[in-house]
């Protein structure tokens, strides 16, 4: 009994460590709702160890034995609910309530049956199997296949398999005739030991998923220009480069560089606040006017880039001309009278084997030609221009 009691203490302490870890995720991480759900699930499940430890110390054996099941299974249901929600598997909340009530009701029905019998063992372990299996299915059915997600799937699958195995072993070697006898059995020692290992492995896998999400969130935020809300130069390169690496020899696409005309004059005459509004308005026009599959970025102070996959230079030039027209229609009347936004554009085709740097150089040359020719127009690298209408 001393060994089983020690393992109960270990399991309780481990659960509190994960409660703390997921509590930090809930406060600081990008997946706050899931972090809170996991923290509550581990906190509730950890009460099972307290109930089991009190069984031999009090005269309320039935109360604490059933309490151990209710708290542990309640924690499993909360955990399954959090995992299915986190991985986008739509399971109505009523399903988990039904699962929980059914499991508790079953535990009441089988309480007086001899432990270690097939009926008792299968009925006791099945609810836990169902929650773990549902959690594993949620991870597997999602489109997430990172190492962290697959590790969590593996741990959940092992956890699901653990409960039928427990039922088999309980029947084969015995699990004590009563709740008090369970704690004195070798089965309790093995069950608590393996349970501790699975708790640690599954908890660490969940922490790994959150760590990866936090890193991905930080990287994504570092790729976004905070003023315009579109990609910055690094984010643009990270998104476009894979397109170029996969492109064939003739359909890599086109690059458009755009520069707001006389932007310094706007800042000098009306202040940087209005300049920021112009940047934001220009970015909004780019997002709305560019094709849905285009990548849009602010790569400098008032310089922007648009990558359009699998188009030729003529279509890209037409797109740039449409954007130029949309920009000129933006009104700044509430901030400055008689001031309109115009922009110059340089367009360059990108071919298979091309690099983003070389395409940027060609588009930049075309952009400077457009500005030198009077601004508010589109120039094609190595080709003609589209004048302002």
Q: How far apart are CA 203 and CA 133, in angstroms?
A: 16
140, 83 Cβ separation under 8 angstroms: no
Calpha distance 237→345 (Å, rounded): 19
Annotated catalytic residue within 52, 213, 295, 302: 302
Closest CA to 290 of 324, 313, 260: 324
Q: DSSP letter string over 57-94?
A: TSS-HHHHHHHHHHHHHHHHHHHHHHHHHHTT----HH
Alpha helices in 29-175 (DSSP H): 32-54, 61-86, 93-110, 118-141, 147-173
What separation, in Å, do the N-terminal and C-terminal C-alpha atoms of the chain show? 89
- Is 302 catalytic? The answer is yes
What Å distances lie between residue 141 and 34, 86, 204, 209, 216, CA to CA? 18, 12, 21, 16, 21
The H or E element that residue 20 is part of is helix 2-28
Name the 3-class secondary structure at 295: strand
Nearest of 2, 23, 25, 13 to residue 49 by alpha carbon: 13
| Residues carrying an active site annotation | 302
């Amino acid at each position: 009994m001393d060994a089983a009691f020690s393992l109960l203490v270990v399991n309780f302490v481990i659960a509190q460590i994960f409660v703390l870890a997921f509590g930090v995720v809930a406060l600081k991480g990008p997946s706050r709702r899931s972090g809170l759900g996991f923290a509550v699930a581990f906190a509730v499940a950890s009460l099972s160890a307290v109930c089991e430890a009190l069984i031999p110390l009090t005269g309320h054996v039935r109360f604490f034995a059933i309490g151990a099941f209710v708290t542990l299974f309640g924690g499993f249901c909360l955990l399954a609910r959090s995992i299915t929600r986190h991985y986008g598997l739509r399971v109505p909340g009523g399903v988990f309530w039904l699962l929980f009530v059914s499991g508790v009701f079953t535990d009441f029905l089988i309480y007086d049956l001899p432990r270690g019998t097939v009926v008792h063992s299968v009925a006791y372990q099945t609810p836990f199997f169902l929650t773990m299996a549902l959690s594993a299915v949620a991870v597997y059915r999602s489109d997430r296949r990172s190492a962290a997600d697959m590790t969590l799937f593996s741990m959940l699958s092992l956890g699901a398999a653990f409960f039928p195995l427990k039922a088999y072993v309980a029947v084969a070697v015995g699990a004590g005739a009563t709740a008090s006898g369970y704690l004195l059995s070798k089965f309790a020692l093995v069950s608590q030991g393996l349970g501790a290992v699975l708790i640690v492995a599954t908890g660490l896998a969940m922490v790994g998923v959150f760590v990866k999400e936090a890193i991905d969130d930080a990287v994504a935020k570092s790729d976004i220009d905070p003023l315009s809300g579109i990609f910055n130069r690094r984010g643009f390169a990270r998104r476009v480069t894979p397109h170029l690496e996969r492109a064939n020899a003739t359909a890599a696409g086109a690059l458009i560089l755009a520069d707001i005309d006389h932007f310094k004059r706007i800042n000098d005459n009306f202040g940087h606040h209005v300049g920021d509004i112009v940047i934001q308005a220009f970015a909004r026009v780019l997002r709305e006017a560019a094709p849905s599959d285009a990548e849009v970025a602010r790569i400098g102070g008032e310089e922007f880039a648009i990558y359009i996959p699998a188009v030729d230079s003529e279509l890209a030039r037409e797109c740039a001309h449409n954007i130029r027209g949309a920009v000129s229609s933006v009104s700044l009347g509430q901030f400055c009278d008689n001031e309109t936004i115009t922009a110059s554009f340089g367009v360059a085709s990108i071919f298979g084997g091309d690099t983003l740097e070389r395409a940027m150089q060609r588009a930049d040359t075309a952009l400077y030609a457009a500005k030198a020719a009077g601004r508010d127009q589109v120039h094609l690298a190595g080709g003609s221009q589209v004048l302002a209408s």
